[in-house]
Amino acid sequence: MSSAPTGSPPPDSVTLRLTLRSLKVAHTIATPARPVAAREALPAFQGLVNATVAAAERASVAAGGAISCRKGCGACCRQLVPISATEGERLLDLVAALPAERRAVVEQRFAEARAKLDQAGLVPALLDPAARAGRSDNDLSAAYFRLGLGCPFLDEESCSIHLDRPLVCREYLVTSPAALCAGPAQEGVTPVAVPKLSMAARGLESPDPAPDAAGRWFALALLPAFAQRRPTAGPAMPTLDWIKRFVSRLGRRP
């Protein structure tokens, strides 16, 4: 991967030109100078991921693939959704801003998910990287998927927070028949090769890229539990500095 923040076009913006494996991605991001928390810079990363996914989709189609993901197919929304603390903070804001009636529905779904994950003994490992000894992410994903838990934001097989959905949700596209995504072991599923920029959002609040940053995720279904144990206040800096930190960590991903 190579990258180059360039920028003169509109004043308060920067155009990123990234080479991610064989993909070339250009994306312009607004960069107001005021210091913000990482969660406020998240839309910048979401836009960059969207642009990367679009480039990967174009490459897949050019190679003869046909994307089978459609609105109304929520098969992948029963998978484990690992999110960073930054995304967790943003989603907590989103839930808090929901109308009371809708918020109650979503909170009830989170409570039901928590009960099932408790019953399955998965809560510690899905919440805390330190509790994952001996269990790989794949192992945890498989155990989660076996529970058949729908995402609390899933409504009639469609994402109710599409514009705000987590980065990993954006990165998941398949060219195989949709029915395979619902299969017990995801056998035969052919994902589009999308560079996983979402990994760069893990541990973003920390100025030093920790060697264990890839493991700094928790399950979206445990968002309320994350809320109870998160740190009080994170750092604030201009969006451009968050972008620089995010981009500097892209090359660390496989």
Shortest approach of ligand SF4 to residue 111 CB, angstroms? 16
Shortest approach of ligand SF4 to residue 221 CB, angstroms? 9
The one among 23, 51, 95, 161 contacting ligand SF4 by CB under 6 A: 161
Show the binding pattern over residues 31-70: x = contacts ligand SF4 (CB under 6 A), - = does not.
Answer: ----------------------------------------
Show the binding pattern over residues 166-205: x = contacts ligand SF4 (CB under 6 A), - = does not.
Answer: x--x------------------------------------
Does residue 200 contact residue 250 with C-beta atoms inside 8 Å? Answer: yes
Half-sphere exposure of 67 (CA within 13 A, CB side): 20
Stretch that binds ligand SF4, among 7-15, 41-49, 52-60, 164-172 (CB under 6 A): 164-172
**Coil/strand/helix, residue 92:** helix
Closest to ligand SF4 by CB, 117 or 247 = 117
In sequence order, which residues have a C-beta less than 8 Å from that of residue 236 and are 6 or more positions away? 35, 36, 37
Does residue 20 contact residue 2 with C-beta atoms inside 8 Å? Answer: no
Q: Does 219 bind ligand SF4 (CB under 6 A)?
A: no
Neighbouring C-beta atoms of residue 113, cutoff 10 Å? 21
Closest to ligand SF4 by CB, 56 or 159 = 159
Q: What CA–CA distance (Å, rounded) separates 48 from 16? A: 9
Shortest approach of ligand SF4 to residue 210 CB, angstroms? 26
What would the two tokens of residue 53 be? 């996914």
What would the two tokens of residue 73 be? 């197919």
Closest to ligand SF4 by CB, 63 or 179 = 179
Shortest approach of ligand SF4 to residue 95 CB, angstroms? 12
Burial class (CB in 10 A: 0-12, 13-18, 19+), 220: buried
Does residue 199 contact residue 52 with C-beta atoms inside 8 Å? Answer: no
**Span 68-87, contacts to ligand SF4 by CB under 6 A:** 77, 81
Residues of this chain that bind ligand SF4 (CB under 6 A): 77, 81, 151, 153-154, 159, 161, 165-166, 169
